[in-house]
Amino acid sequence: MKTTQVKTTELVKIFKELNNNFGGNLEVLSNEYKLTLNGTFGIGQIEGISLKNGISYIEFDITLNENFILSLYSTKKLPIYFAHCSKGSLTHSFGQKGKKKTLNKFQTGIVTCNRAEENVLTFQKDEPTKISLIVVNTITSEVANGISLNQQLRNVFFGNYSEESSVFIDSYNLKISEKVKEITAIKQTGIVKYLMIESSVHLILAMEIEHRISNLEKANKPTGCLTQKEMEIITELSQFIKNNPENDYTLKSLSRKTGLYNSKLQEGFKLLHNRTVRDFIINERMKKSEKLIRTTNLNISEIVYSIGFSSRSYFSKIFRQKYDCSPKYYKETQNSIAVTA
């Protein structure tokens, strides 16, 4: 079993330790770090970026040949670790002999710890694992617009400035999974990439906190709950609809296709997209229609029928609601732009 001990929240030192332990190729560009494993101890990549106000984002997308322990020691900056599992699992304990809690696919975890506390994160061998980790130093000299985000988080998780260690493994959250995917999909570079990641990380932090508060409120209330397998099915179905929005979908047909009850489908789509199944399908059709208007020579009627609508007037009504203009005007505007470009 390999072990990497880190007694800092500075990414440059963290990635140096990881590089020393795993080897591989470490690329450093300004405040961005990317370690590509060479196969000796595993395959995959570990990426990180330092953001403003003592916040860092690290993503592990790896498959290892042996169990691996990442030992993170708390510092005087009292970091809070926000973790999300997109693939595989991750085990946490305070110290080697502490009680172990496992973060599974689609779950979120929040770890707070006092000074000198050891956070032991265990990655399992031969298990493809993708973990996103947001590290927030709650004590920092950077303050903007009065009370800082860091101080607010410290007040929330270290109430009355007590420095108690705790770990929360919350219920499944598909919305955070989708937001993590968006970070992974960013292709831009430089300041554009930095700003996009920073924006997404702050949004994930808000979602993590909201999710935690929601779970606390619902702790003693009976509520519906999707299993990990059901959420994977919902995620795959969502992607299928995105790729084929023109198909003739009904709840009954989707229920047969997935093996899930209508109520489960609706619950899953509300969790993941904050929409009903019907609204999600219509939204995807409208997105495809906009692309067809913008990129093809099809007339409006041809587009209407190609995306699965049978009524042009209904399509025009929905299009106007979404894009604040008629399909015809939108097409004419796009053509005008193309001519003058």
Q: Is the pLDDT of residue 340 over 70?
A: no
308: DSSP letter: T
Please tell me the least confidently modeled range out of 98-107, 119-128, 299-308. Answer: 98-107
pLDDT score of 89: 93
| Region for residue 301 given its phi and psi (left: phi exceeds 0; alpha: psi -120 to 50; beta: otherwise) | alpha
Q: How far apart are CA 198 and CA 140, in angstroms?
A: 18
What DSSP assignment string belongs to 22-77?
H-SEEEEETTEEEEE--SSSEEEEEEEEE-STTEEEEEEEEEESS-EEEEEE--TT
In sequence order, the 6+-apart residues with CB closer than 8 A to the CB of 158 are 78, 112, 138, 164
pLDDT score of 158: 60
Q: How far apart are CA 158 and CA 260, in angstroms?
A: 41
> ∠ CA(231), CA(237), CA(239), 5° rounding?
110
What DSSP assignment string belongs to 225-246?
---HHHHHHHHHHHHHHHH-TT
Determine the average pLDDT of the residues in 3-19.
88
pTM attached to this predicted model: 0.69
Please tell me the least confidently modeled range out of 93-97, 131-135, 302-306. Answer: 93-97
Comparing 228 with 307, which gets the higher pLDDT? 307
Which pLDDT band, with edges at 50, 70 and 90, does 338 fall under?
Answer: very low
Summarised one tens digit per residue, pLDDT across range 149-169 is 777 776 766 654 455 567 777
Summarised one tens digit per residue, pLDDT across range 104-133 is 888 888 888 766 678 899 999 999 999 999
Q: How far apart are CA 149 and CA 198, in angstroms?
A: 14
State whether residue 296 is helix, strand or coil. Answer: coil
pLDDT score of 171: 66
Q: How far apart are CA 100 and CA 115, in angstroms?
A: 20
Summarised one tens digit per residue, pLDDT across range 214-267 is 766 655 444 456 787 888 899 899 999 999 999 999 999 999 889 888 988 998
Please tell me the least confidently modeled range out of 142-146, 207-211, 297-301. Answer: 142-146
Residues 33, 12 contacting (CB under 8 angstroms):
yes
Which pLDDT band, with edges at 50, 70 and 90, does 339 fall under?
Answer: very low
Which pLDDT band, with edges at 50, 70 and 90, does 285 fall under?
Answer: very high
Q: How far is CA 11 from the centre of its chain?
A: 20
Q: How far apart are CA 113 and CA 157, in angstroms?
A: 10
pLDDT score of 223: 44
Determine the average pLDDT of the residues in 300-310.
92
Q: How far apart are CA 53 and CA 183, in angstroms?
A: 19
pLDDT score of 130: 94
* Per-residue buried b or exposed e for 305-326, using 16+ beta carbons within 10 Å of the residue's own CB: eebbbeeeeebbebbeeeeeee
Determine the average pLDDT of the residues in 67-81.
84
Determine the average pLDDT of the residues in 261-274.
87
Q: How far is CA 314 from CA 192, 309, 319, in A?
A: 39, 8, 9
Comparing 85 with 173, which gets the higher pLDDT? 85
pLDDT score of 206: 86
Residues 53, 149 contacting (CB under 8 angstroms):
yes
pLDDT score of 221: 47
> ∠ CA(30), CA(34), CA(37), 5° rounding?
155
Which pLDDT band, with edges at 50, 70 and 90, does 337 fall under?
Answer: very low
Comparing 222 with 284, which gets the higher pLDDT? 284
- 127 backbone dihedrals φ, ψ, rounded to 5°: -115, 110
pLDDT score of 153: 74
Provide the mean pLDDT of the chain. 84
- Please state whether beta strands 79-87 and 107-112 pair in parallel, antiparallel, or not at all (unpaired): antiparallel
pLDDT score of 341: 33
In sequence order, the 6+-apart residues with CB closer than 8 A to the CB of 30 are none
pLDDT score of 215: 67
Domains of the chain: 2-218 (2.60.120.10), 228-340 (1.10.10.60)
Q: Which helix (H) or strand (E) holds 137?
A: strand 129-137
